[in-house]
Amino acid sequence: MIFETVVVGPLMVNCYVLGCLKSREGVVIDPGDDSDRILSVVSRHGLKVVAVINTHGHFDHTGGNRRIVTECGAGLLIHELDAPMLARAVDTAAMFGLSAENSPPPTGFLTDGEDVSFGEHRLRVLHTPGHTPGGCSLFLEGKVFTGDTLFADAVGRTDFTGGSAAALGKSIREKLLVLPDDTVVYPGHGPSTTIGGERKHNPYLSSLGAI
C-alpha cells in the first residue's frame, strides 16, 4: 500500500495520503493546508483520489479540502455532526489569529462501522466523539488514524465547543483500546505510537475513565 504523511499548516497537522498499488485509487485524510505539497504526493504516485476524509471538522484539518476535492474530482466525507463546521473555517481560524479557507459541503457522511474503499483496501469508520461530536477514527490493516482523539502520551482537548471528556473517555475505551496492542496509531498531530503503548503509558487515560 502507498502511505505517506505530509505535515501541513501552522498547527502541524498530519495529513495522510493512502493508495492502492494495484488500482492506484487513493484517499487523502485531513488535508489541512499546503495543498501543493499534498497534490505533489498524489501526482508522484499517480493516484486517483476517490475521497478526501476529514476525521473531524476543525479548520486545521479541513483547510485544504476545497482545492484537493476540486483538482482531484474526489468526494468529501466527514461525520454528519461535524459537517456544519466546514463552512465556518475562516471565522474559527481568525479566532486563533490564523487564516483558513471554508470547505465545500460533504458529498457523503462517515458512519460508524461502515467502510471507505479505495482499490483493494477498506478503511473501517469508528465514530470516536469527545474532541468534537462527530470525531472519527479510521482502522486499516493494523493501523488506526485517530485524528485528534488519541495522541502519543496525550488525548484530544475537550474544552472546545461540543467537546466532552466523558465522551472522549468512552470512545477511547470502547473503540480504540479494544484494538490489538500492536495496532499502530497515526494521530492528527505528532508522532505515531501503538495502542499497547498508550494503554501502558498514556497518563490521561485513567482520569478519562478509559482504563
The three cell numbers of residue 160 are 472546545
Q: Quick check: helix, strand or coil at residue 202?
A: coil
The three cell numbers of residue 88 are 465556518
Confidence class for position 49, pLDDT limits 50, 70, 90: very high
Mean pLDDT of all residues in 15-37: 98
Query: So where are the chain's domains?
Result: 2-201
How would you classify the pairing of strands 136-140 and 75-79?
A: unpaired
Confidence class for position 211, pLDDT limits 50, 70, 90: confident
The reported pLDDT for the residue numbered 209 is 87
The pTM assigned to this predicted structure is: 0.97
**Phi, psi angle pair for 146, to nearest 5°:** -105, 5
Mean pLDDT of all residues in 22-51: 98
How would you classify the pairing of strands 150-151 and 154-155?
A: antiparallel
Residue whose C-alpha is closest to residue 54's, from 80, 31, 23: 31
Mean pLDDT of all residues in 130-145: 97
What average pLDDT is seen over the chain?
A: 97
Containing 200, the helix (H) or strand (E) segment is helix 195-201
Topology classification of domain 2-201: Metallo-beta-lactamase; Chain A (3.60.15)
Contacts of 156 (CB under 8 A, 6+ apart): 130, 131, 135, 147, 148, 149, 150, 163, 168
